Amino acid sequence: LVSAMNRVQLLGRVGQDPIMRQVEGKNPVTIFSLATNEMWRTGDSEVGQGGESAQATCPGHGCTASSTTRANLWGSGRVLSRIFVEGKIDYGEYTDKNNVRQQVTTIIA
């Protein structure tokens, strides 16, 4: 039996106030971005054995929360609030205003 897993856990800060969207015929969702940090040590030494620490910020993972998750987000999910998100990665595409096909990766919380 072959199985697969699509699961992601992110701890970061909300990059924009959440926006609720309603698509006709579907349940409403809340859309927000989540900024995360990546940290590492510079130099040739092993981790924890010297060297200087460096950090980079990933400016925004696009996230979508369902109606069950949305209530929790509205209470604590304002800009720069630190939150933990668990969900799955979704790959999709859309056509922008210039009629160019764009690919998008979203975290479904």
Domains of the chain (ranges, CATH numbers): 8-36+62-108 (2.40.50.140)
Q: Any idea what the Cα angle at residue 33 is, between residues 30 and 39, rounded to 5°?
A: 145
Confidence (pLDDT) at 54 = 84
Q: How far is Cα 72 from Cα 22, in angstroms, rounded to an integer?
A: 18
**pTM, 2 dp:** 0.71
pLDDT tens per residue, range 20-44: 888 788 888 888 899 998 887 777 6
Find out whether 109 and 43 touch, Cβ atoms under 8 Å: no
